[in-house]
Amino acid sequence: MCLGIPGEILEIGPTTPDRPLVMGRVSFGGVIRPVCLSYVPEAQVGDRVLVHAGFALSRLSLEAAEAAEVALLQAGVLRPARSET
């Protein structure tokens, strides 16, 4: 069984002959990680994507991403985001 985590695309980098894969920066509740976006070429900044092992596998609606986050929080897989005060 695989676990995909929803995240929000913050930035999409350009491809070059040396780096043909589309890479982006994705936020997972404030934790930002590099993610390969080559499997979701239609994705744009602000979209939610389902990520497994550093690869975005599909785009998600905002509602689906929020529902997945709630389920992962309830299962104890994710921790609530810390508020900055």
Per the structure, the complete domain to which residue 44 belongs is given by: 5-14+21-74
Residue 10 lies in a domain: yes
- In the chain, which ranges are E strands? 5-12, 23-28, 31-36, 48-52, 55-60
Residue 32 lies in a domain: yes
CA 14 to mean position of chain CA atoms: 18
Dist CA 63 CA 35 (whole Å): 21
User: For the chain, what is the domain count?
Assistant: 1
Residue 64 lies in a domain: yes
Label the pairing between strands 48-52 and 5-12: antiparallel
Residue 60 lies in a domain: yes
Residue 9 lies in a domain: yes
CATH number of the CATH domain containing 61: 2.30.30.140
Give the other-Cβ count within 10 Å of 25's Cβ: 17
pTM of the model: 0.85
pLDDT in tens, 45-74: 999 999 999 999 999 999 999 998 888 888
Residue 79 lies in a domain: no
